[in-house]
Structure 1
């Protein structure tokens, strides 16, 4: 199965409530979902939300803890991974974020906070190739994304695959990581297609 990097932005722009709830479990289709430890799939994911969604999540349940402008959800997603919500002042504006942190690592919340600030204070709006792929994965409906299994002879079980339509209109599965630059551009919304490449931090 793909092993994502430690801390990663998984959606460009602020997610609305529907998209936020979809991204809370971006890997629900993984094979053998209830077997093994999938913490690494989730820990490190983060994305921006609106103030309304931030406040809504604060009011659902009493937080596990509140630390300044951050709070953690009482219910854990998997193992020691839970949602942490951030209200951060970036370039003079308060913005709101959701991140999955592994609370067994006492540094994970602060590392997430610093990574978000570093990423969002870059002077030029840009996306890395990895951010483009993660945005495509996050924004694609479940019917058009999934994981290879034992019935997919071309791919290793657990690899992320996405439906891609050719110029002739035929549909087929392709590894997410193998999308070409042109295929990535075709899958991105128009406003993101021509953003400059950003160097991975």
Structure 2
């Protein structure tokens, strides 16, 4: 499964519990012990200051550059956590992103993408951001990956359990949820945000 280069995966500010859950939101992937850098690289989400400071104090950073620092421990291959302190609209905000340090420009592109996304004057979400939020906020027991019972082209794709009223509960491919199903899976405060045009 290959995802887009830089993508917001959670709407809102993740507290410490949510932050640790989001660090490895692909834990159930079938090829867990293979190098799957593309799966993580480019994912980012907002955290609170306490979470940012906690991560800064765990280990000495691999490096620090102005408003960002990289974790010394790598997640997979050359991908590691980079934490950002960014001033957006006059306020300091804190973010986590997975960057591939084999690409020297990766942290800077991540920072620029976060600033561009979070500086928009109107709160809005793309369909992809809605699907990523659903995946990130769904409990592990209600999400997974299509296995051998699925047709060959669908194997390995992300699945979620969907409650369809009288039709009961069904397992669906995340990418095939209809707009109404996406709205039903989102928290109420995110359901009616306008659609954003993907950058």
Tell me which interval the TM-score lies in, with the shorter structure as reference length. over 0.9
TM-score by length of 2: 0.97
Match of 1:61 among 47, 59, 62: 59
Kindly state the Cα deviation for residue 69 of structure 1 after the two structures are TM-superposed. Answer: 1.4
Kindly state the Cα deviation for residue 24 of structure 1 after the two structures are TM-superposed. Answer: 0.3
Instruction: Render the CA deviation track for 1:105-149: whole Å, top value 9, x for unaligned.
Output: 011000000000000000110000000000000000000000012
> In the aligned structure 1, how far is the partner of 2:161 from the partner of 2:182?
12
Kindly state the Cα deviation for residue 168 of structure 1 after the two structures are TM-superposed. Answer: 1.6
Contact 1:69/1:86, CA 8 A, preserved across alignment: yes
Cα RMSD for the two superposed structures? 1.1
Q: Alignment partner of 2:166: what SS? A: coil
Match of 1:145 among 129, 143, 146: 143
Kindly state the Cα deviation for residue 155 of structure 1 after the two structures are TM-superposed. Answer: 6.0
- 1:131 maps to 129
> In the aligned structure 2, how far is the partner of 1:163 from the partner of 1:8?
23
Larger mean Cα displacement after TM superposition, 164-173 or 67-76: 164-173
Kindly state the Cα deviation for residue 169 of structure 1 after the two structures are TM-superposed. Answer: 6.1
> In the aligned structure 2, how far is the partner of 1:154 from the partner of 1:68?
47
Q: Alignment partner of 1:168: what SS? A: helix
Larger mean Cα displacement after TM superposition, 151-160 or 98-107: 151-160
| Unaligned residue ranges in structure 1 (runs of 5+) | none
> In the aligned structure 1, how far is the partner of 2:67 from the partner of 2:6?
20
Instruction: Render the CA deviation track for 1:62-117: whole Å, top value 9, x for unaligned.
Output: 11011111100000000000000000000000000000000000110000000000
Larger mean Cα displacement after TM superposition, 55-64 or 165-174: 165-174
- 2:42 maps to 44
Tell me, yes or no, if structure 1 residue 188 matches structure 2 residue 193: no
- 1:80 maps to 78
> In the aligned structure 2, how far is the partner of 1:56 from the partner of 1:23?
16
> In the aligned structure 2, how far is the partner of 1:113 from the partner of 1:160?
27
- 1:96 maps to 94
TM-score by length of 1: 0.96
- 1:11 maps to 10
> In the aligned structure 1, how far is the partner of 2:53 from the partner of 2:160?
33
Contact 1:148/1:155, CA 8 A, preserved across alignment: no
Q: Alignment partner of 1:149: what SS? A: coil
Kindly state the Cα deviation for residue 153 of structure 1 after the two structures are TM-superposed. Answer: 4.0
